[in-house]
Structure 1
Amino acid sequence: MKKEILPPKAKKIPKKLEAHGDLRIDDYYWMNEKENPEVIAYLNEENAYNDKMTAHTKDFQARLFDEMKGRIKEADQSVPYKLNGYWYLTRFEEGKDYPIYSRKKGDLEAPEELLFDVNEMAKDFEYYSLGGLNISPDNKMVAFGVDNVSRRKYTIQIKNLETGKIYSDKIENTTGGSTWANDNKTLFYTKKDEKTLRSYRIYKHILGTNSTEDELVFEEKDETFNTSVYKSKSKEYIIIGSHSTLTTEYQILNASDPNGEFKVFQARERGLEYAIAHFEDHFYVLTNKDKATNFKLMKTPVEKTQKENWVDVVPHRKDYLLEDIDIFKEYLVVSERHEGLNKIKVMRWDESETYHIPFDNETYTVFTSINPDFDTEVLRFAYNDLSTPTSVIDFNMKTRDKTILKEQEVLGGEFDKDNYTSERIWATAKDGTKIPVSLVYKKGIEKNGNNPLLQYAYGSYGATIDPYFSSVRLSLLDRGFIYAIAHIRGGEYLGRDWYENGKLFKKINTFTDYIDVSEALIAKKYTSAAHLYAMGGSAGGLLMGAVINMAPQLYNGAIAAVPFVDVLTTMLDDSIPLTTGEYDEWGNPNEKDYYEYIKKYSPYDNVVAQSYPNLLVTTGLHDSQVQYWEPAKWVAKLRELKTDKNLLLFHINMDAGHGGASGRFEALKEVAEEYAFLLDLEGIQG
């Protein structure tokens, strides 16, 4: 007789949590003690249980991993871009996990100059992330940031590109990014709060000095704001930005006068959002000023930056969301969104010509790429859709000629985009709102209700999940899965109002939209409850937790990656990273109305004795965004209360954080685990 594998049983230590006269008992609060050996022991037990329960899929996971890896061109190279006299490129070598950064002086035939081989730098670490590469104006130095814990706390160092020597300067606990002044010796950077990890201070470092002597330039004292520093595309200004969910403020300094005083561009006003770009004698301001919900573009003279001097360049339109701009000597390029689809509009400064670059697919993703030069007629952008790999394209704005510089190769010899169908349908929410859904599947699939379908969504922070191509996803599509992206409220797919109607006191719309999409996909016979799977990560993991509390009967399984599921307790604790900056997204539960509203949907607080779908939960021990204890507590409570015998698997990466493994192939092992979970539930092992 086969011995039953029993899941871990977490001990209960009741802790009283009281606010606004409401008492909650949290039996698993003790799990937030990361240094407690009992916590680590429990997490290890969960990993061991997961290993035992998935032992029969390990070979399948290995095959899936090899299959997905086999589609990726291992020896690959980015499209080079030119900056300040050098061509910069990133390449990967066969069998290696990390990128190699290099450059060539003058033209692409010049000898390669190695900047960093991250494979060498990462070889002694379980996790390694190199970021924030920032070349000095004289091209002789590069500043860079390193995180080898996955806590998103980077140490900045500086490398001499003429000698290859790394200077002794070490600046710890930063965002990793930095900005050179035009004197080639002054570096501005952003420090994080040690405990909350909020980006809150801008410092000035002088090359060759000890970082303990660095001058504090600006401190963001409002705990709901983060701060950052960067240089304008024109290279004429150092810019400090302060950002909250609803409000922004910038300060500017001539980049050739690093010891000067920063000047406030426009003082913060709650609800006023703006972003700035410099060109010649004006700043261009992307803003929601004057109730421009979907944003508009304005300009103002460099000497008169206050909002009363701003004048319209591209006015506000109710049916177009203005997302970004790229400025060139003769052209202004506007990235906007209309009826959910990306649009790129090209405008000549002399107003002699305005047009949209044409795209004729029903659902696709296009975005402007790296465009560092002002004086060019060529715009670089990238295009893909659910069934078409990414192309990097140079577009001549004068002649309108397109040059495809690179198409993503899908190796293995079996991929043909014509074998797949992508489409967009609309589901009707309970309140009558039409919810767009992007779908991709193999041609020939019958809509008979028997198809396995993976429904993905995010739905927070105004972040839009565009319909993008994934060679990895083919491992599901080729085995009969349909893949759906639900463009639910809380993102900005249909404009800023789409976001506003999925946050704060309207947050529950995000969850009901997802459920309504599921019901529509079942009604339209794409799938059935026996074959429908839900997936989301981070705030999308909150979505998973809420949805399976509200409508568990709709799903055979769900994957919740690094899920934000203990919303109420986390938002009441302002010592936890990111909390204070999130009040304008979720509400501040220190206020009774928000407390009561969040309590209605917070997944951990709403686990009840009922049947739940098969569930795979993942997290990283070092996660700085959603702390590991949120999913740990949630899993323990689900184990205690759920009334079914469905799978509940919990995998903790003990070496990684929010983004999972750092190597390009190591991360595929995590995807293989997720796909094996889904395919195994469908009885597909080949």
Structure 2
Amino acid sequence: MQKGIILSVLSLTFAASCTTKNSTTPMKDIQAPVAKKIPETLEIHNDQRIDNYFWMRLSDEQKAAETPDAQTQDVLDYLNAENDYTDSITAHTKDFQKDLFEEMKGRIKEADESVPYKFNGYWYVTKYEEGKDYPIYTRRKESMDAEEEILFDCNEMAEGHAYFRLSGINISPDNKYAAFGIDTVSRRIYTIQIKNLETGEVLPYKIENTTGGSTWANDNKTLFFTRKDAQTLRSNQIFKYKLGEDPTKAELIFEETDETYYAFVYKTKSKKFLVIGSTSTMTSEYQILDANNPDGEFKIFQPRTRGMEYSISHYDDTFYVVTNADGATNFKLMKTPDTATEKDNWVEVIPHREDTMLEDIDIFKDFLVVSERTNGLNRIHIQRWDETAAYYLPFDNETYTAYTTTNIEFDTQTLRYAYNSLTTPSSVIDFDMVTKEKTVKKEQEVLGGKFDKENYASERVWATAEDGTQIPISLVYKKGIKKDGSTPLLLYGYGSYGSTIDPYFSTVRLSLLDRGFIYAIAHIRGGEYLGRQWYENGKLLTKKNTFTDFIDCGKYLAEQHYSSPAHMYAMGGSAGGLLVGAVINMAPDLFNGVIAAVPFVDVVSTMLDESIPLTTGEFDEWGNPKDEEYYHYIKSYSPYDNVEAKAYPNLLVTTGYHDSQVQYWEPAKWVAKLRELKTDDHILLLRTNMEVGHGGASGRFEALKEVAEEYAFLLDLEGISE
């Protein structure tokens, strides 16, 4: 036993036994880990908080040290003890987890490949081979009948790494070079390298500490990339690198000094302009430069104005601007000459609409394609530039997701989009915008011989929130379920950053549906399911709407007898982990079990510490607690700060030791405090993956093991063991 940690993990005393709520599986009487308490007084605005587990926080230097210091060893001992405890408590489900894993893996077509897309004279395909975890990136010149050229085999590149991710493949205009980024730590810090595609040689230059993305100028030798702040991981610098030079001599051409902004760089689809973007939660700014003149000076497109967001797309001699300027809450489309880009020159193309949110545009030589959302549903509008035709793609469901996908080619009349629903596997469709004919290029195969979409049903219902607002819920289940309150139900939510969880198909989810579960998505405020105002009403000083909406969705599902608190479960990850963490403080009796994945639960402390990655960029999302009003509001819902001596649901909490977005110590401290104060005998488990970060395992099959553990946790609470 290491000093300072009081841990009793592997007790061999089996004189007594207990059972999980609704579970028929006896559990061994195993003592849970108990973390030591070192009171740390945190004071601001004349308010004191005592954090007994502040010591769990390690610096990056401590984590990277070859020999751990005493504090690091204490933290490692605690996390490993929690993992051992989780292994012991779930030991009786290990075979079931393996069965679930094999079942989920068995639905996936292992030898698979993407629909080819053409770019700059080559057809590109990403493929997977049977039994392998990672993708293989390929291309063929001019025709799919041409010889296949392997660009990157990630299976070979991942050898020797516990975690591997390749990102940002960027082909030079002459098709000779490919820039790419690699992360082997899972902190989303990428090293960019360049491969000569003619010789197969990876050039002996490494550009460290980047986002992984890059863009080539039209001269085929100048590469622009984004570097991250070493401590906060904020992407704040744009560099220019000349092929063949020492990367340490790359030229810094822009630095974003406002700590609430992130910077990035790309090239317009028209290939005419290089673009540097700077964005915060609620403000954006762009700079442009002729891509044929990479050594020129970037010019501000439209100076940043707090609260004004815009994005730009180029066509012919015109920029098209999607913006919320002048009160266009749901955004509108403007245009302006590429020689006069300031806002005073913008002319309206599509006006602001109260009932429809303009989400994105795709520009083609003869067509403008607009992605919209009305009443929560995706819509794709197509119109010719000459205004001789305008129409919507037809969709006739309330629980579907449709979106444009890879549309890199400019001079084409083919639009590629994807469609799926809660009951319908995903399809990639090529749509002829002239003839209106559609060709299904690929439909997701569900292997195993058991899936028939006619066996499942989906619906959308509306719960009434405590303030009278109607909150939509998408549901899917196997036909024949009983609405008598006895059916298990998993309610999923997120509700932050304006990110919308659309109703989508999942082969993995079938393992719950086929065992009698209902799966539900709560489209709560904080997302943009019902437009931009839906987001505005679930952030900052209205953030609690997100939590009460979720609670009211759960109550509605119980009142309508879809399920009941004895059989109802909740799940959320990251900011969705904040959601379920807040919910179980506010309504601890509503759910029998909760899964909190990489949960953002120590909101006050994190938002007060600007050295932590993401903090400064999120003041417009949560508020800055250095402002007393925001401090008290955030403190009133922060899950960690509101743990009390009361009964909580059964809990499975997951995290990654190398997580750069939600640091591992947030869920670790939360679990320790829950263990200290909770008054129930329900299960409380913490699983820390010591090799990965925020996104979990990197291999496509390895990640399924994490899902199998989560599903086994839920099913075991229902007494389902096969």
TM-score of the superposition, structure 1-length normalised?
1.00
Aligned equivalent of 2:14: 2
> C-alpha offsets along residues 520-565 of structure 1, whole Å, 9 cap, x if unaligned?
0000000000000000000000001100000010100000000000
Residue 336 (structure 1) shift: 0.2
Measured in 1, the distance between the counterparts of 2:410 and 2:600 equals 42
> For residue 516 of structure 2, what is the aligned residue in structure 1?
480
Q: Give the one of 294, 299, 324 matched to 1:288.
A: 324
Shift of 1:307: 0.1
Structure-2 separation of matches of 1:402 and 1:211:
47
Which 5+ residue runs of structure 1 have no aligned equivalent? none
1:118-517 maps to which residues of 2 (within 5 A)?
Answer: 118-517=154-553
| SS of equivalent residue, structure 1 residue 388 | coil
- Confirm whether residue 519 of structure 1 aligns to residue 555 of structure 2: yes
Amino acid at match of 1:2: F
CA distance in 2, matches of 1:362, 1:514: 20
2:125 is aligned to: 89
* Aligned-pair CA distance for 1:353: 1.2
Deviation at residue 173 of structure 1 after TM alignment? 0.3
Structure-2 separation of matches of 1:151 and 1:277: 31
Query: Retained in 2: the 8 A contact 1:132–1:177?
Result: yes
Are 1:336 and 1:342, in contact at CA under 8 Å, matched by a contact in 2? yes
Q: CA deviation at 1:577?
A: 0.2
Task: Quote the Cα distance in structure 1 between the aligned partners of 2:81 and 2:570.
Answer: 26
Given the alignment, which residue of 32, 36, 53 partners 1:28? 53
Say if 2:692 is the partner of 1:680. Answer: no
The residue matched to 2:679 in structure 1 has which SS? coil
**3-state SS in 2 of match to 1:552:** coil
Q: 1:359, 1:246 → 2: CA distance?
A: 32
Q: Which runs of 4+ in 1 moved over 3 A?
A: none
Deviation (angstroms), 1:439 = 0.2
Please report how far the alpha carbon of residue 211 of structure 1 lies from its aligned counterpart in structure 2 after TM superposition.
1.0
Contact 1:247 1:271 in 2 (8 A): yes
The question of whether the paired residues in 2 share the 8 Å contact of 1:253 and 1:261 is answered with yes
Name the counterpart of 2:26.
none
Residue identity opposite 1:186 in structure 2: T
Structure 2 unaligned regions, length at least 5? 1-12, 16-28, 63-71
Q: Does 1:603 align with 2:660?
A: no
Aligned length: 686
What SS class does the counterpart of residue 325 from structure 2 fall into?
coil
**1:529-540 matched pairs, under 5 angstroms:** 529-540=565-576
Q: What is the CA-CA distance between 1:362 and the residue it aligns to?
A: 1.9
Cα shift at 1:169: 1.5
After TM superposition, give the deviation of residue 361 of structure 1 in Å: 1.1
C-alpha separation in 2, matches of 1:457 and 1:80 = 34
Q: Which residue in 2 is equivalent to 1:614?
A: 650
Matched to 1:159, the amino acid is K
| 1:208 to partner: Cα distance | 0.8
- Residue 18 of structure 2 aligns with which residue? none
Deviation at 1:624, TM superposition (A): 0.4
Separation (CA, whole Å) in 2 of partners of 1:244 and 1:683: 47
Match of 2:68 in 1: none
SS state at 2:712 partner: helix
Shift of 1:140: 0.4
Percent identity between the aligned chains?
Answer: 70
SS in 2 for 1:677: helix
Note the C-alpha offset of 1:452.
0.2
Q: Deviations over 1:550-604 (max 9, x none)?
A: 0010100000000000000000000000000000000000000000100100000
Matched letter for residue 22 of structure 1: D
Q: Give CA-to-partner distance per residue, 1:604-663, whole Å, 9 cap, x none.
A: 000000000000000000000000000000000000000000000000000000000000
* Cα distance in structure 2, aligned partners of 1:200 and 1:450: 52
Tell me, in whole angstroms, the C-alpha distance in 1 between the residues paired with 2:519 and 2:103. Answer: 19
Matched letter for residue 382 of structure 2? V
C-alpha separation in 2, matches of 1:500 and 1:216: 36
Counterpart in the other structure of 1:109? 145
Superimposed CA distance per residue, residues 22-41 of structure 1 (whole angstroms, 9 cap, x where no aligned partner): 01100000000253110011
Measure how far apart 1:415 and its partner are. 0.3
Cα displacement (A) at 1:290: 1.2
TM-score normalised according to structure 2 size: 0.95
Letter in 1 for 2:45: H
- Letter matched to residue 58 of structure 2: E
Shift of 1:77: 0.4
Q: 2:103 aligns to what?
A: 67
Q: Which amino acid aligns with 1:223?
A: E
Q: Write the deviation string for residues 448-482 of structure 1: whole angstroms up to 9, x where unpaired.
A: 10000000010000000000000000000000000
Kindly provide the CA deviation profile for residues 299-348 of structure 1, in whole angstroms up to 9, marking residues without a partner as x: 00010000000011111100000000000111100000000000000011
Whether the 8 Å CA contact 1:169–1:207 is kept in 2: the answer is no
Moved more, 360-369 or 463-472: 360-369
CA distance in 2, matches of 1:490, 1:373: 35
**CA–CA separation in structure 1 for the residues paired with 2:186 and 2:411:** 39
Offset of residue 268 of structure 1 = 0.3
Shift of 1:178: 0.3
Q: 1:265 and 1:363 mapped to 2: Cα distance? A: 39
Aligned to 2:20: none
Corresponding residue of 2:75: 39
Q: Distance in 1 between matches of 2:550 and 2:397?
A: 25
Paired with 1:648 and 1:529, the residues of 2 have a C-alpha distance of 18
Q: State the alpha-carbon separation in 1 of the partners of residues 42 and 482 from structure 2.
A: 52
Q: In structure 2, the residue corresponding to 1:533 is in which secondary structure?
A: strand
Question: 1:400-435 CA distances to partner (integer Å, 9 max, x unpaired)?
Answer: 111000000000001000000010000000100000
For 1:127 and 1:170, how far apart are their aligned partners in 2? Answer: 19
Distance 2:40 2:450 in 1: 56
Q: How far apart, in 1, do the equivalents of 2:347 and 2:588 lie?
A: 52
Task: Give the whole-Å Cα distance in 1 for the aligned partners of 2:409 and 2:129.
Answer: 29
Residue in structure 1 matched with residue 580 of structure 2 by the alignment: 544
SS in structure 1 of the partner of residue 182 of structure 2: strand
Pick aligned residue for 2:601 from 565, 570, 579: 565
Please point out which of 641, 664, 671 is paired with 1:628.
664
Instruction: Note if 1:15 corresponds to 2:40.
Output: yes
Paired residues of 1:190 and 1:201 also in contact (CA < 8 A) = yes
